Every structure is written in C-alpha cells, then in structure tokens.
Amino acid sequence: MTSTLIIGATGLLGSEMAKASARNGDRLHVLVRPATAGDEERLHSLKELGAKIHVGDLDDYDSLVRAASAVDRVISSVHVHSASEMTLVRALSDAGVSRYVPSAGFGLDFAAAAPGSIPPLDLKRGVFDAIRQADLPYTVIYTNGFFSTWVATLGDLMRFGSSPLPPEEVTLYGDGNVPATFVSEKDIAAVTLRALNDPNAIRSEIRIARNKITQNEMIDLWRGVSGRSPRIVPQSAAELEAMIASAPWLGLLRAFWIRGETALETATPEAGVLYPELAFETIESAFVAMADAAGR
Ligand SMILES: NC(=O)c1ccc[n+]([C@@H]2O[C@H](COP(=O)([O-])OP(=O)(O)OC[C@H]3O[C@@H](n4cnc5c(N)ncnc54)[C@H](OP(=O)(O)O)[C@@H]3O)[C@@H](O)[C@H]2O)c1
C-alpha cells in the first residue's frame, strides 16, 4: 500500500488532501505541530480517516526526516515561509521520498505571473528553484484561485473570512471584465492524487485553469442563484495600485482582476486536459450550495 504524508492536514486545503488520500486507499500519515497534537477536536477527523500522527514542525529538521522516512510521498499544504520550506526540501532530499507535492504551487502559474509583483509568489518561486536544484521528484500543482478565498468573496480577497456567504458589499476591481480561473479545494486534492498516481507527472508542473469568469459575471451569477444584490464599490486600477504600494501582497488582486494572469494560456499542461476523466465543481453549484446553506 502506498503511504502519503500530509503536512498541513488540519488546514483548509490539507484537510481535503487528507480525505482524497484516504479515498485513494493510501496509508495516510500526517505531521502536526506539538500544540495541535494535544488538541483532540482538531485531530478527530484525521483519526477517523485512520491517519498515523507524527508530531513535528516544519522548522524541526529531525522531525521531518523521521516522518518522511516512514512514507513514499509527501504533500505540503502549509503557507510558504521560505526558511521553513527550505528545511523541508533538505529533509526530503535526505529521507529520499519518491514524490513531493510542495505548497509552493498552490497559487498562480509561475509562467503566467510576472516575477517581482507579488511577494508571497516570489517566495514560492524561490522554494521551487531550491526543489529543482535538490533534484527532488516533485509535482507542482498550480491552482489559481481557490473557491473559498475568491468565489465565496465574489472575487474580493479583502473580504476573505468575514462570512461563509458572499458579502453584502463587494469591491469591483478595475472594469470587472477581466477573466480569472477558480477551483474548489476538493478538486485541487483530486487533481493532486491523480497526478501522484501518474508516473509521467514526476518533475513536472500542472496548472488547473477551470471556471473562467470575470468579476462582473461572478456577481451576476450570485445574484441569479441567491436573489441577493450585493452593493458594488468600484475601485480603479490606479486606486488598487495605491493600496498595493502600502500592502504589496495585494498584488494578488492586480494579478487576478487587472492583468488576468490566472486565465493566461501558458505552456504548462492543464489538469482537465491531462486528466479528462476528472469532473470539476462549477461556481454555480458552489453558489447553489451556499445559498441553500443560508436558507434561500
Ligand atoms: N490560490 C489561492 O486562492 C489560495 C488560497 C488559500 C491558500 N492558498 C495556498 O494554499 C496553501 C495552503 O493554504 P491553507 O489556506 O490551506 O492553509 P491553512 O488553512 O492556514 O493551514 C495551514 C496548515 O499548515 C500547518 N502549519 C503551519 N505552520 C506549520 C509548521 N511550522 N509546521 C507544520 N505545520 C504547520 C497548520 O497546522 P496547525 O494545525 O498546527 O496550525 C495547518 O494545518 C498555501 O500554499 C497557500 O498559499 C492559495
């Protein structure tokens, strides 16, 4: 039986990775930090999936080598802090895993996004360079926008976490007519497991570019499904630039809604083309589920 270690399995994406890995019939291993290891409530669903729990930390090289030595392949779905992720790269080289899906990929395709415009993406790019230099058997999955972050906010990243439902007021970036692409966390996990089972995906990059839609179209779709009409606050590209000057990570909004970088065609193979048997959740079905949950 193939064994898969997930680092970040209590998180948004990692919990979907854990479920997909268990569905795939893998022997599931997870690495959790000491504080989490003592939290039965947070570990409950992972234990139900039969996960073997390793206690460790991305900053603790020995714990990473111990956990990685017990498995065939590793998925990391933590937020990338370069020093910690570099420790993981070193540990995986020393442990000798057969496949590694780094968290560096879970965002924009490096081939589409201009270097130097989004600090978190530049960090991820640096980690990917280290992975290649270490000659690890990686598979990088570029996701573009997650449903929970972008669709549930009607494309307004600034409102992330404010409510499980799309917001009553939404900022419209630029003219609202630039397309972007989105995928559910469950589908990201399905693509990842499919790629892990694909020997041709070793040392390769795969992009998910599904559900292409503009911000105007997304807001209209929500109106149609829910009968709600969010208030629109327009923000020009120049006003967004002024915000990015003081909060550079907001370069993500420019990449999505001004430059259209998540919808650019690149030479990176696209997941739905590569694996046509996979069916992807649509934005409309996600909106229907949200509206139902809100008692539409
Ligand atoms: N493109 C998009 O729209 C988008 C949206 C969201 C996220 N992302 C990307 O997706 C990836 C996962 O993000 P997420 O939102 O799923 O993350 P998350 O929900 O914040 O979860 C992070 C996980 O990492 C674990 N963790 C944090 N620091 C750790 C450490 N030092 N050692 C070991 N484990 C540690 C946490 O464990 P504890 O339980 O101990 O806290 C948690 O399980 C990231 O690369 C992120 O940039 C992309």
Q: Which atom of ligand 1 lies closest to the CA of 14?
A: 16
Q: What is the set of active-site residues? A: 124
Q: Are residues 288 and 169 in the same domain?
A: yes
Question: 33: Cβ below 6 Å to ligand 1?
Answer: yes
Residue 82 lies in a domain: yes
Q: Are residues 165 and 88 in the same domain?
A: no
- Total domains in the fold of the chain: 2
Q: Which atom of ligand 1 lies closest to the CA of 107?
A: 1
Distance 82 CA to ligand 1 centre (A): 13
Task: Look up the domain containing 96 and give its range.
Answer: 3-144+183-207
Rounded Cα distance, 130 and 236, in Å: 37
Q: Which atom of ligand 1 lies closest to the CA of 185?
A: 16
pLDDT mean across residues, the chain: 95
Q: Are residues 284 and 197 in the same domain?
A: no
Distance 220 CA to ligand 1 centre (A): 31
Rounded Cα distance, 268 and 37, in Å: 38
Q: Are residues 126 and 243 in the same domain?
A: no
Q: What is the pLDDT of residues 107-144, one digit of tens each?
A: 999 999 988 889 889 999 999 999 999 999 999 999 99
Model confidence band, residue 293 (pLDDT cutoffs 50, 70, 90): confident
Q: What is the pLDDT of residues 218-259, one digit of tens each?
A: 999 999 999 999 999 999 999 999 999 999 999 999 999 999
210: amino acid identity, one letter: R
Q: Are residues 140 and 152 in the same domain?
A: no
- pLDDT for 83 equals 67
Model confidence band, residue 163 (pLDDT cutoffs 50, 70, 90): confident
Please state the pTM of the whole predicted model. Answer: 0.97
Q: What is the pLDDT of residues 19-30, one digit of tens each?
A: 999 999 999 999
Q: Are residues 55 and 197 in the same domain?
A: yes
Residues sharing a CB contact under 8 Å with residue 175, sequence separation 6 or more, in sequence order = none
Residue 284 lies in a domain: yes
Residue 250 lies in a domain: yes
Question: 255: Cβ below 6 Å to ligand 1?
Answer: no
Residue 271 lies in a domain: no
Q: Are residues 72 and 131 in the same domain?
A: yes
Residue 38 lies in a domain: yes
Secondary structure of 32-69 as H, E, C letters: ECHHHHCCHHHHHHHHHCCCEEEECCCCCHHHHHHHHH
Q: What is the pLDDT of residues 62-109, one digit of tens each?
A: 999 999 999 999 999 998 776 688 999 999 999 999 999 999 999 999
Q: Are residues 199 and 94 in the same domain?
A: yes
Are 187 and 218 within 8 A, CB to CB?
no
Distance 38 CA to ligand 1 centre (A): 19
Q: Are residues 120 and 173 in the same domain?
A: no
Percentage with pLDDT > 70 across the chain = 99
Q: Are residues 216 and 80 in the same domain?
A: no
Q: Residue 258: give its domain's CATH number.
A: 3.90.25.10
- pLDDT for 296 equals 59
Residue 132 lies in a domain: yes
Q: Are residues 71 and 13 in the same domain?
A: yes
Model confidence band, residue 154 (pLDDT cutoffs 50, 70, 90): very high
N-terminal to C-terminal alpha carbon distance within the chain? 45
| Paired residues of 171 in beta bridges | 233
| Paired residues of 183 in beta bridges | 146
Question: 84: Cβ below 6 Å to ligand 1?
Answer: yes
Model confidence band, residue 210 (pLDDT cutoffs 50, 70, 90): very high
- pLDDT for 220 equals 98
Secondary structure of 142-200 as H, E, C letters: ECCEEHHHHHCCCCCHHHCCCCCCCCCEEEEECCCCCEECEECHHHHHHHHHHHHCCHH
Question: 262: Cβ below 6 Å to ligand 1?
Answer: no
Rounded Cα distance, 219 and 224, in Å: 9
Q: Residue 18: give its domain's CATH number.
A: 3.40.50.720
Rounded Cα distance, 188 and 155, in Å: 19
The residue whose CB lies within 8 Å of the most ligand 1 atoms, and thus the one to mutate among 30, 41, 62, 77, is: 77
Select from 10, 296, 11, 4 the least CA-distant residue to 148.
11
Q: Are residues 99 and 198 in the same domain?
A: yes
Which stretch of DSSP H or E encloses residue 83?
A: helix 82-95
